[in-house]
């Protein structure tokens, strides 16, 4: 049972192996996209938190506290 195509014909094990490798690449790419989206979400939340903290600080300073 060969894992490489012979005489221009693709054997079933070779095709299966290629499908598995392609699926693994797809899963890795999707995982990286998910990590990137999660990072973007965390950065946006952090920026929102900083903006709110600055607003609270400005209000407190304007009240003379």
User: pLDDT tens, 34-52?
Assistant: 999 999 999 999 999 999 9
- For residue 54, the 8-state DSSP code is H
More confident residue, 3 or 14: 14
* Whole-number Å distance between alpha carbons of 29 and 14: 23
pLDDT of 16-29, one tens digit each?
Answer: 999 999 999 999 99
């Amino acid at each position: 049972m060969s894992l490489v195509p012979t005489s221009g014909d693709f054997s079933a094990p070779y095709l299966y192996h290629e499908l598995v490798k392609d699926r693994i690449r797809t899963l890795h790419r999707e995982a990286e996209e998910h990590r990137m989206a999660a990072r973007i979400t965390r950065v946006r939340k952090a920026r929102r938190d900083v903006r709110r903290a600055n607003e609270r600080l400005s209000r407190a300073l304007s009240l003379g506290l």
